[in-house]
Amino acid sequence: MSERFAVLDRLAGQWGLSGLELVGKGLEFTVFRARARDGGPVAVRLAHHRFDSNANDPHVDTRALLVQEHAIARHLAEHGLPVARARELVLADDPDSPDVLLSDYVPDDGTPLDSHALGRLLARLHQAPPPPLHPVAAEGGTTAEALTTRIARRWAELARLVADWPEPPAPDLLARHLSPLTGSSLLHLDVRSSNIRRHQGRTTALLDWSNALLGTPALEFGRLAEYARYPENDLDLPALRAGYATLAPVPAEDDPTLLACRLDAALMLALVFLSEAPDPTRGPTAATHARALAERLSRL
């Protein structure tokens, strides 16, 4: 790791950065804030490893994620959507050196999130032309194929962690309910407080596009419905849906496709609370909730 920070120091000198300060560390990336040569605040994001693994995603290509972040941020900025403007991407030749993305640092005033305005923003995002890329999370297939595969994979992972875990939903059931996910809207799929910068409640930047996929809004709303169950995500789902509805149709809450997408999100969260960030209360509760969603889906 010392070699990686030596490279960061060299890049800081090359870019004329000062005052490097650690501001965030996740599963795959560390983020620093600094002052650029032009005086503006910037964010420096570097990968912990070239490849990574966790309970939800056993094969994480951090370089591909940074390349995608760079491309999406540039594309959406050109279409007037609030993102952290990407400045420079450096891909290392040495496997012991980190890939690094330099972006604008967008401040946050800590005010409560305006979910109605966020809903309008997500409608604009879904209506914007998508960038010319194949999302990393699609794993080389269609969005429906990716969800079918990862639901099965995460279900099996939960079976290792939860006693008396039932058999998974039938593949043909999942395929039928996920087949409508053929749209071309760019979906963020990680919309929660920690990935939203705001000023007076209004979103000034959507951060972290690692989970992005192309599809229909039902997939976004499936993820939002599950995130809204946790207060720290600061999502008022009825207000968000109302804001979205001012610009575009909102997927019905009882739509089987949305329910299948909720199952995808619920399994992910169950693994987070049972494995990645263990919580003795939330873990079992999240697993029970995911199981209940699967039972509901099987009755449709």
Structural domains in the chain, sorted by start: 2-104 (3.30.200.20), 115-298 (3.90.1200.10)
Count the alpha carbons within 13 Å of 2 in the hemisphere toward its beta carbon.
Answer: 0
Tens-place pLDDT, residues 157-199: 999 999 999 999 999 999 999 999 999 999 999 999 999 999 9
For residue 154 the two structure tokens come to: 């995460």
Beta-strand ranges (E) seen in 99-247 are 100-104, 185-187, 196-199, 202-206, 213-215
First to last CA, the chain: 50
Candidates 217, 222, 223, 219; CA nearest to 245 is 217
Q: What is the DSSP letter of 242?
A: H
> What does R_g of the chain's alpha carbons equal in angstroms?
19
Residue 6, pLDDT score: 80
Q: Which residue has the tokens 């795959």?
A: 28
Contact present, 297 and 169 (Cβ < 8 Å):
yes
**The predicted structure's pLDDT at residue 97:** 80
Indicate yes or no: pTM above 0.75: yes
Q: Tell me the C-alpha to C-alpha distance, in Å, between residue 297 and each of 55, 226, 293.
A: 24, 15, 6
CA angle 71, 64, 12 (to 5 degrees): 75
Pairwise CA distance, residues 246 & 250, whole Å: 9
Give the dihedral sign, CA 19/88/104/212: negative
Residue 3's pLDDT is 65
The predicted structure's pLDDT at residue 253: 94
Q: What is the pLDDT of residue 8?
A: 83
Give the residue among 254, 264, 224, 227 at the shortest CA–CA distance from 241.
224
Question: Six-digit token pair at 158?
Answer: 């939960």
Amino acid identity of residue 196, one-letter, is I
pLDDT at 7: 79
Low-confidence ranges of the chain (pLDDT < 50): none
With contact defined as beta carbons under 8 Å apart, do 62 and 49 qualify?
A: yes
